[in-house]
Amino acid sequence: MTFGILGSGSWGTAIAKILTDNGNTIYWWNRSEAHIKYIQEQHHNPQYLSTAFLDTKKLKLTTNLAEVIKNSDCVVMVIPSAYTDLVFHQLDRNIFVGKKIISAIKGILPEQNLLLNQYLKKEFNVELSNYFTVLGPCHAEEVAAEKLSYLTFSGIDEKTTHDISICFKTNYLNIIQNNDIYGVQFAAVLKNIYAIGSGIAHGLNYGDNFLSVFIANCADEMAGFLKKAGIKNIEVGHTDIRNPAEEHRSNNYAASVYLGDLLVTCYSLHSRNRAFGNMIGKGYSVNEVELKMSMVAEGYNATKCIHQINEKILADMPIADMIYQILWNNKSVAEEFSRIEQRLV
């Protein structure tokens, strides 16, 4: 199984490290010839995760996007969702025929309010049976430091999902498997929104007591949206073990890919969405924050996307709506948080 990686940011670099550490030779797309040369000579990405050592004997680096896709059985997509359509519009409609697509994108395409699988079906006729996700609480910085992390692989083809997942298994990475493609993607989008809210609260000097209640309510709100959207794996405290000899419980939204990713994104100093929100809470405008940050905060566009999607789903989402009003309608940060205080339970 040959892998190709589209995206050379922090998470793309971390995935390149994971796959090569596990003995896989990969094709890796990078926009910059200068960066490719640096990686080949210095064994590090000069711009992202510069401390992560890369085994260049297992890297086939190129600026040719189509070449990576053509030479790969599995294409791992790690391009920020806001730029996905811009990057892919140049590609032939049939380029993904026969390929397995693995999404590591924790976002939603903002122009069309589509998850990546929906976009690929619409533009490239990629079937859901050939689409997989790799998500969970897995900051790239900790992967680079080889601190134990967990990734959840989702796909409707159980065997292929398993075969893909074991290619990522290392001594610092545990793998989990489920078939909840839509649920894990929506959860990944929502947790970025709530992490911005957590950051705003921190910037406003709320304490840990408030944040714990705030994030607990975010988890409940996320579960409500998922349930209204037709996602079934959201029952907290419910264990449906099919075989008593099995080691793992069935997956629900309280598992690592749902609640775990929400918690780490809201609390961790590595979280760019939390950092984005923290600056908003301290009084910076959205434009000022975007200029200061060198990485994309997926939650910013996601607030607008989820707001528009929820106009049809009609889930009760006062926290997500509050964050949308602050970021897109220039509502007062202090006033909006004062109002939401009364809604938390």
Catalytic residues: 191
Q: Distance between CA 102 and CA 68 in Å, rounded?
A: 14
Instruction: Answer whether 163's CB lies under 8 Å from 238's CB.
Output: no
Q: At a CB cut-off of 8 Å and minimum separation 6, what does 322 contact?
A: 197, 336, 337, 339, 340
125: three-class secondary structure by DSSP = coil
What strands lie across the sheet with 131-135, from one edge to the other? 59-62, 26-29, 3-6, 74-77, 100-103, 131-135, 149-154, 173-178
Instruction: Give the separation between CA 286 and CA 276, rounded to whole angstroms.
Output: 9
Distances (CA, A) of 341 to 91, 330, 345: 48, 19, 9
Which distant-in-sequence residues (6+ apart) come within 8 Å of 167 by Cβ? 1, 3, 19, 22, 24
d(C-alpha 320, C-alpha 223), whole Å:
13
CB distance 80 to 13 below 8 Å: no
Neighbouring-strand partners of residue 153? 134, 177
Query: Angle at which helices 272-281 and 318-328 pack, to 10 degrees?
Result: 70
Residue 244 CB burial class (10 angstroms; 0-12, 13-18, ≥19): exposed
Strand positions, DSSP E, the chain: 3-6, 26-29, 59-62, 74-77, 100-103, 131-135, 149-154, 173-178
